[in-house]
Structure formats: C-alpha cells, structure tokens
Chain A
Amino acid sequence: MSRKRLAVLGAGAVGGSVVELAAEYGHDVVAFADSSSAVVDADGLDAAAVLDRKETEGVVGDGDPDDALAAEYDVLVEATPTTLGDAEPGISHVEAALARDRDVVLANKGPVAERYADVRALERGSDGRVLFEATVGGAIPVLSTLADYGPAHVTAARGILNGTANFILSRMTTEGLGYEHVLAEAQDLGVAEADPAFDVEGTDAALKCVILANVLSEARAEDPADAREFTLDDASVEGIKEIPGSALELAGEGGRTVRLIGEATPDGVRVGPRLVPKNGSLAVGGTRNVVQLEHVHCGQLNLSGRGAGGPETAAAVLADVGRLS
C-alpha cells in the first residue's frame, strides 16, 4: 500500500479523527481545513498540534479554507457536514479534486445522495476515483462488500442505518419509557443532537438508503450514465416521533419489536418504523447499525457494527484510502 498525501476538509468528529489516525495507517495529512481556516504543510501536519489548536482556538490554522483544496495532495477526504439539495460545498470540492485528477474519499453523504449522477459524470471525465464507504453505515463495510460481491447480484439492502433512532426505540421498548423521556436521555448521553430531527424523522437513514439505491441501480444499467438516479426526494420517509410506548408493548406481545428500517432496491427507497422479529438479526439494540444484503447466490448477508462515531467513520475513510492503490 502506497503512502498517500491527504487533504482533509471538515474538522468535525470524522475529519478530526482522520487527521489523528492517518499516520497509523501509513498516510500523511498535508492539508486540513474547517469552514473558516486551513493549514497546509507539504511535509505532513503535526496532527496533535493542529487538533489542539482546533480545540482551543476554534481554527485549524491561519490559512484560508481554499488553501487546503489547492494543496499538493493525492486524496481529498471530504468530511464537511452533509447538505441537502445542491450538496454544496461538498460537490464543488469533489469537482475541484477530480478536475486535477485526484482521488476523492467522501464521508459527506450529500454529493452521492443528492447528486450521484453528477459525481459519476465528473469521475468519468477524470483519472481520479471517488469512494464513499464511510457514507453508509459508519464503520460497517457495506459498500465495499457490495462492490466485492457485485451490486448487480444484490436485489435489496435493508437495515438499521441510524443509531440515534435505534437507541430511542430499543430503550423505549426495554424500559417502557416514552419518546420524550428517552430522547432527553439520549441528548444527555450525546447519542442524540440538540435538534434530533435529522435522525428521528428518518432523513439520515434515507440518505444512506438513497446512496445504496444509486449503487444498485447503476449496477443494472447497460450504460452507467443512463442509470436511474435517486435523491432524497425519491424516498418514502417516515420517522419515529409518533410512536407511543403502548405500540412497542403490543409489538412485544407478538414476539416482535419496532425498528426504524431503511430499504433500498434498484427501484426505490423506503424508510419507516417496521415490525421485525424480536430476536431476529435486524433487531439490534442501542446505537448499533445493521445492514442486510439480499444476494441472489448467498441469500442474506448481515453486517452489523457501529454506524457512527469519529474513529469508527475515520476507519472507513482510511479503508477507502487504502483501496486507492
């Protein structure tokens, strides 16, 4: 595996962890930017010093964010916050890297969920590649498994792709507590954000399913450029806020439980609370995620693990970097 020079955009939990862990994986971070600042060092950054400065001063360096994009790097790691609609500025970052024939590794879901066809078109016009393992299921190797086993042989991908919603539902079920109570607890624990809408309304899970549907659809098109493209608007999405504790209790009577399940097929995306067997492979507890691939030759493949978190997601990003030989 060759040593890569990384430019990391985004200094949240994921971007920060990539900077922290890159050396451990044999790579150098030569540029790092958050939304207002940047630091560039062709010899490789001092990760500890940069992260300390971000922590104490709120900036990563004295440079302009665009400096990182202009630096001499091999792989652009795009870990800025996911944006809906036009997926900016993520998509522009992807475009800038591909225009220079550099590779891109995405942790930001926006470009591949909202503008998949554009990303692929840009990639076709470049010597650079785009990988995005980290966008679906955090640490869980969903997309690389899909790629290895052939997305054309996978008829559906379904599972639990949001740890916050899963934590709330599983805790409501086991403790018999109401939604508001468990949400407050999740916020105290740092499992849910102050504004939990993105998670509990199913948007986050839907974005991941949209990405999966795009991959499944593309694998079936004769010409990838003609593949049916999915965006969040194409997904049917229902959240978990309206589910009372009594419903979870009733589900248990029948040996089942309720989970926020996302389903992706080459023809569509659906996210909503569903009844699943209480002891089945999809009824994971806590913040765990699980993805079940329906494969024509293998039957069901279940992949589960941590679906979020800085080091977890950074490990998926760095696995992608390793795939870019």
Chain B
Amino acid sequence: MTITRRTVALCVLTLIAILAGANLVVASGRFNSAFQAYDQLELALTSFEYSSPDDPIQTEFVITNPTDERVTVRAVELRVQIGVHDTGGGENRVEAVLQRGESYSVSVPLRINDKEYVRRAKTPLDWRVSGRVQVQLNPAIEPVWIPFVVRYLPE
C-alpha cells in the first residue's frame, strides 16, 4: 500500500479538524451554559424606604442563584426615578460568590440628587428603580451586566 501526499494531507487535516472541532463544541457548550445561568438568576427589590428628600432612600436587593453553577456578583448599580425624571442613584461594589441555591442580600442607599423635584412632586410618588447587576460565571468569561426595572408605589 502506497501512502500518497494527498493521503498524508487528508490525515493531517482530519487531525486538525478533530482537535479544532472539539474546541468549538466544548467552547460553544460552555458559552451557552453561562448565558443560561445568567438568564435564570432571580433579582428582587425587597425593601424600599423613603423618608425625606434630604435622606438617602434605603433599599435592599436580593439576588438568588437557582442554577447549578457558581456565580460571582461583582456590582449592583441602581438609578431611582419619579415617573420618567431621574432623581438619584447609588451602587454597591462588594463582591459576593453565590453557590447553588444561595441568595445574596445587598443594601444599596440611593442618594437623591434632585431634591427640589422630589419636594414638588405629586404624591403618591411614582418611584421607579432601574439598574443593573454585574455577574460573572467563570473567570474565563467576561462579566455580564444584567439590566432590570422595578416600579414601587408606596401605600
């Protein structure tokens, strides 16, 4: 049996295709799992305490990880609005690691910038909290910002 150049080339190409194909399949599988995990994260605003325009609004934000993956929460950024008017915001950049099924409660004081607008606004105030949470599934994957919006109407 003779081994031709065409056969050698085909064998080398097959070897490269197997290695590169394995990389492609594994990487796309991990990439998909990471985004599925991000999508399953549960975000909830559990506390919103407004006292006066001069004091910060105290908020409590809970992040729950129902996935099988370990998720690192790197930052929480919140903006507070009355209707569509931006009135202030705050952030918390304390890093926390969430194992499977764990929850993380983070306190974010929201500073009011436009105090006059808050004083003049018609009550009950139509508070809206929007923000984003930065989470990372795997050190190899870049952190992802997950945006959210919450509407809060005091009783």
Whether both chains belong to one complex is answered with no
Residues of B within 8 A of A (CB): none
Residues of A within 8 A of B (CB): none
